[in-house]
Each structure stands twice: as C-alpha cells, then as structure tokens.
Amino acid sequence: MNNKYQSEIEDFLAYVSARNPNEPEFLSAVREVAEVIIPFINENPKYKGKKILERMVEPERVIMFRVPWVDDKGEIQVNRGYRVEFNSAIGPYKGGLRFHSTVNLSVLKFLGFEQTFKNSLTSLPMGGGKGGSDFSVRGKSDAEIMRFSQAFMQELFRHIGPNTDVPAGDIGVGGRELGYLFGMYKKLRNEFTGVLTGKGLAWGGSLIRPEATGYGVVYFAEAALNNIGKSIKGLRIAISGFGNVSWGVVKKVNDLGGKVVTLSGPDGYIYDPDGVTGQKVDYMLRLRASNRDIIEPYAEKFGVKFFPGKKPWEQKVDLAIPCAIQNEFDEEDARQVVANGLIGVVEAANMPLTHRAIEIIQENRLLYVPGKAANAGGVAVSGLEMTQNAMHLQWTAKEVDDYLKRIMHNIHENTYKYGKLPDGYIDYKKGANIAGFIKVADAMLDQGVV
C-alpha cells in the first residue's frame, strides 16, 4: 500500500461506492486497480487531470433484460439476462457469459472491469465486456438448457456482432451452451459470423480454445516459478473447481511433470495423493456434463478421500491454484497457506482471493499472480479464434498453442517489468494493473472525450 496517496485512494473509492451502492464485488475489483493506478497516475502526469479512472469505472453501456422460458414441466420460468459493455477503447467488447445463481449486476460489472485490463494485457485488440444470467445449469435437462439459451439470445442478438461485441463462455457456459446460443444467433440474423468464441470445431471454433485458460495459467505459473529458481516439475498442487479451467490446468500440470492432488465442488473437495491423471482427467468432463455440480462422485469412483464442506487450501502442498469463483479464498485460507509454507498462489479464476487474502500472501512475500494476468490465455485464444474467423481458416493446434505460449510469456515479461519492487519481490498485481492500464488509457486519451 502506497501511504502517500492513501487519502486520494479512499476518496476515489468513496466516490465509486456512492455511485454504485450495493455492489461489493465491483467495488473490490475497483479497489485492487485504484490502489495501484492512483499512485501511477500521480507519477505520470500525462494521465493526470483527465478523469481517466473515473471514466474507466463507468461501463460504456449496461443492458439488462427479461429471459422467460418454459421448463420441462410446462411451467414458465423467468430469469434475468445482462450484458455489460465496459470499454471499447482498444477493440470490440469481448468477454464471457456466465450462467450461475450468483450472477447479478455487481458481479458482472466486476468481471467486465477486470476483463478490460486482462484483454489489454493479451496485446490483442479486444475491449472489455461480460454478461450472463442468474440461470443455473444445475439440475436442468439438456432441453431446458437449450430453451433457456435460445431465449437469452433472442434478446442479446440485437446488441452484439463480430465487430461490436463478441461474447464467449464462462462459468456455466461451455461448448454445449455456446452451440445453442450460436444456433439462435445465426437463425435470427441469417448470417454465419464469428460473433461468439469457444465455438465447436466444426463451426468456426479454434483448436486449443477449451484448454487455453488452464494452459495459459500453467505457462504463466512456470515462467513466474522459473524466475525464482523453481518449476512446476515435481510440485504438488492444490486446485479448486472441476470445470473447464481446472481441466486445462490439470492437463498442462501433468504435461510439465507436476501433480494436481485436489479438486473441489460446492459440496467439498477430494484429495487424490496419486494425482488427477489418465482417465480421471476425462472423468472431470463427464462430471461437468452431468449438470449435478458436485465432486463427491470422483471420490467414490476412484476410492479417494472426500472432505465435505471443506476447501482444498488446508492441504500441505507446494502451490495453490484457485480455479472456481470469486472470493473462494479468504484471509483464513491465506494464513493457512503461509503456515503450510507454500510457494504461492496463482489465480486461475477471476478474483478468487479476497482483498485481505492478497495482502497476507504478498506481505509474506509468497508468489501471488492475479487472474487478470494468469488466466488471460482463454480470452487470448478467443482473440485468435476471431482472427481465424476473419481469415476464414483454421490454424493447427500447434500454431495456436505456440501463439498462446508467446502471449503468456509476453504477459509475464510485461507484468514483471512493472511489478519489480526495490527488494526484488515481484508484485504481479501492480505489474498487471499498470501494464493493462497503459494501453487502454493511451487509447482513451487519443480518442478524446467520448
């Protein structure tokens, strides 16, 4: 914390809080950025007096809509849909759709704000956006998921387009949901365009997109570990979740010779001392497709221990990679991880650590990598999918993976450059926010007050 600018930071947060009451998630995301960027603006006069941060915390547009649909029993259900078009300074709005019971405006504003910085870090021309619904796939049939996705797109389609806003997946939105969303978009518009990313391979998708977020996290983690004379090889790693991001992390950790020993769901976590390998990795996909949203069946199937209602951060491992959801790792977890002597925490989810947890990890000089840097590989390959669509071709898996590696390596270099502290510690949070900010802020200054 930079005490010199503390009162300016607090005043700014009070201003944001007053304008956005009851939006704690959004306010937390703004806090993480403001603590770094307000001192940076003061030290870089070109950004001063331009209300640049005031403009950045205001979404360019928020769309909120009714999503009525009929369930398998013939009953009418009503959900709420959103698209937060946050910032288009450096490219069309870009970011995922989340279908989850916790979705509300605050959550989507936090995600859209984060996405703006993350997308900037990828070096690709993508603005920031996020959307979704409070609809949960848990316990729904495939037919219900299809009808809901179609109803959602019946409104969203008029707000998006390949050069305007390009949604993708996020929690609760994978290949299946994207298929239903794309099908309805194509029907309504009568055109086949790259309006969504994460598409199926047969209809415009990119190889490596499903793996990209997890792979990118591990590429970044490897670069950050190498930097302190360590590597993934031989490490025991605790992760949370069992969805798409976790799956990619598991696959790449296995490739690099590490071992993932935990997975979790809303019901608790499993501890698998032999590591999640071989057919267990494919089983993760089957669990996700079952729409049950629980991890316990893994323990039954593979004869490992299940810890109901607990979090995997209590295990003594070498590295923690939270892959599930915001605020899943709190102050108590941070203290546990410090006491257990972990190397650090790399965020694969979007803001899984609370503000206090980050402070504790960083005060103790453990490695900490924020999601906006570590998990940018997903949206980066979405950007590559847009490029392939625009060129009407499909690259090989190796071409995409090589590109992804280069992008993650660049993000590491860039965040390292701005995050290096006088005592040698790398503050990746500082680095990610400054590196992400510069490109967006410069574009906004160039484009005038719009």
Catalytic residues: 130
231 HSE (CA, 13 A, CB side): 7
* Closest to 394 measured CA to CA, from 263, 204, 177: 204
Q: Helices 376-391 and 397-419 sit at what angle, rounded to 10 degrees? A: 130
Check residue 260 for interaction with ligand GLU (CB under 6 A): no
CA 99, CA 178: separation in Å to the nearest integer?
11
CA 283, CA 8: separation in Å to the nearest integer?
51
Instruction: Determine the residue type at 144.
Output: E
Bridge partners (DSSP) listed for residue 426: 420
In the complex with ligand GLU, the residue whose CB is nearer, 304 or 384, is: 384
Instruction: Determine the residue type at 65.
Output: F
129, 94 contact by CB (below 8 A)? yes
- The span of 10-18, 57-65, 378-386, 436-444 binding ligand GLU (CB under 6 A) equals 378-386
Check residue 378 for interaction with ligand GLU (CB under 6 A): yes
Query: Shortest gap between Cβ of 173 and ligand GLU (angstroms)?
Result: 8
Check residue 197 for interaction with ligand GLU (CB under 6 A): yes
Count of residues that interact with ligand GLU, criterion CB under 6 A: 11
317, 342 contact by CB (below 8 A)? yes
Nearest-5° Cα angle at 89, 438 to 406? 60
Check residue 248 for interaction with ligand GLU (CB under 6 A): no
Check residue 350 for interaction with ligand GLU (CB under 6 A): yes
Nearest residue to ligand GLU on Cβ basis:
96
Paired tokens of 141: 């049939």
Check residue 369 for interaction with ligand GLU (CB under 6 A): no
β-strand 344-346 against 367-369: which pairing, if any?
parallel
β-strand 259-265 against 268-271: which pairing, if any?
antiparallel
- The span of 93-101, 142-150, 180-188, 254-262 binding ligand GLU (CB under 6 A) equals 93-101
83, 165 contact by CB (below 8 A)? yes
Check residue 382 for interaction with ligand GLU (CB under 6 A): yes
3-class DSSP state of 425: coil
Check residue 259 for interaction with ligand GLU (CB under 6 A): no
- The span of 40-48, 91-99, 258-266, 298-306 binding ligand GLU (CB under 6 A) equals 91-99
CA 338, CA 228: separation in Å to the nearest integer?
17
Check residue 95 for interaction with ligand GLU (CB under 6 A): yes
Query: Shortest gap between Cβ of 43 and ligand GLU (angstroms)?
Result: 29
Distances in Å between the Cα of 116 and the Cα atoms of 39, 64, 74, 122, 359 are: 20, 20, 40, 10, 23
Check residue 88 for interaction with ligand GLU (CB under 6 A): no
3-class DSSP state of 154: helix
In the complex with ligand GLU, the residue whose CB is nearer, 325 or 343, is: 325
Contact track, ligand GLU, 35-74, x by CB under 6 A: ----------------------------------------
Query: Shortest gap between Cβ of 110 and ligand GLU (angstroms)?
Result: 11
Check residue 108 for interaction with ligand GLU (CB under 6 A): no
Check residue 370 for interaction with ligand GLU (CB under 6 A): no
Which of 57, 379, 384, 386 forms a contact with ligand GLU (CB under 6 A)? 379
Check residue 96 for interaction with ligand GLU (CB under 6 A): yes
- The span of 94-102, 146-154, 289-297, 303-311 binding ligand GLU (CB under 6 A) equals 94-102
Query: Shortest gap between Cβ of 370 and ligand GLU (angstroms)?
Result: 12
Interacting residues with ligand GLU between 155 and 174 (CB under 6 A): 168, 170
Check residue 199 for interaction with ligand GLU (CB under 6 A): no
CA 399, CA 420: separation in Å to the nearest integer?
32
Check residue 253 for interaction with ligand GLU (CB under 6 A): no
Strand order in the sheet with 61-70: 61-70, 76-87, 128-133, 93-99, 165-168
Residues at the contact surface with ligand GLU, assessed by CB under 6 A: 94-96, 118, 168, 170, 197, 350, 378-379, 382
